[in-house]
Chains A and B, each alone.
Chain A
Amino acid sequence: AQSVAQPEDQVNVAEGNPLTVKCTYSVSGNPYLFWYVQYPNRGLQFLLKYITGDNLVKGSYGFEAEFNKSQTSFHLKKPSALVSDSALYFCAVRGVMDSSYKLIFGSGTRLLVRP
């Protein structure tokens, strides 16, 4: 069965410091991987995706994520955090082989960037 794990409920970082939000996945075959962000009282917004190719994916608002097949991970990163990055972040996966249209989301990680 497909699954996504986000091991940290919350990540705290000071503004200007680098940030990492962790994600590991389990899927049969190759994965499609995604990061979405949710601000209060809003729906989810797409940040970036990995389909194939370069393991380092660049997305919106200066975020990037690194696909590591051997570790089945897709960690979200940003070199310098902003207070405005504070939000709820979701990792999601879709298996390429199972002809499924649904995304499997992790439980989310709350990012808090302090001034």
Chain B
Amino acid sequence: DAGVTQSPTHLIKTRGQQVTLRCSPKSGHDTVSWYQQALGQGPQFIFQYYEEEERQRGNFPDRFSGHQFPNYSSELNVNALLLGDSALYLCASSYRGYDEKLFFGSGTQLSVL
């Protein structure tokens, strides 16, 4: 049983570029949440997708957007990258969004130069 898988594992971009990160949830899960973990900090909630819609959003600008596909996989898009967007981006899946036990992927390490 595959857990949560994220791709790519590492990514290097320059300021102003756009990036797309991908996530496949754990089998049987239908909800995907995205978190940003800056160096030395705890994860911060970006948004959650359920039934192909953004159900809740954290305090992130509109440059951060997402999508969920019918197979429950999800993408995180970030436009007009800033140096401060450099972080580990974590995807977490759950069943129907009840966060009693999130399953996290290993993350995508994004470096913006």
A residues with CB within 8 A of B: 4, 32, 34, 36, 41-46, 49, 51, 90, 92, 94, 100-108
Residues of B within 8 A of A43 (CB): 4, 90, 92, 104-107
Whole-angstrom CA separation of A32 from B97 in the bound complex:
14
Q: Is B42 engaged at the interface, CB distance under 8 Å to the other chain?
A: yes
Nearest Cβ on chain B to A96's Cβ, whole angstroms: 12
Contact at A32–B45, with CB atoms within 8 Å? Answer: no
24 A-B pairs (CB sep. < 8 Å): A4-B42, A32-B99, A34-B99, A41-B106, A42-B106, A43-B4, A43-B104, A44-B90, A44-B92, A44-B102, A45-B104, A46-B102, A49-B101, A92-B42, A100-B56, A101-B56, A102-B33, A102-B48, A102-B99, A103-B43, A105-B44, A106-B42, A107-B40, A108-B41
Q: Which chain B residue shows the least CB distance to A90?
A: B42
Interface SS of chain B: loop
Nearest Cβ on chain A to B95's Cβ, whole angstroms: 12
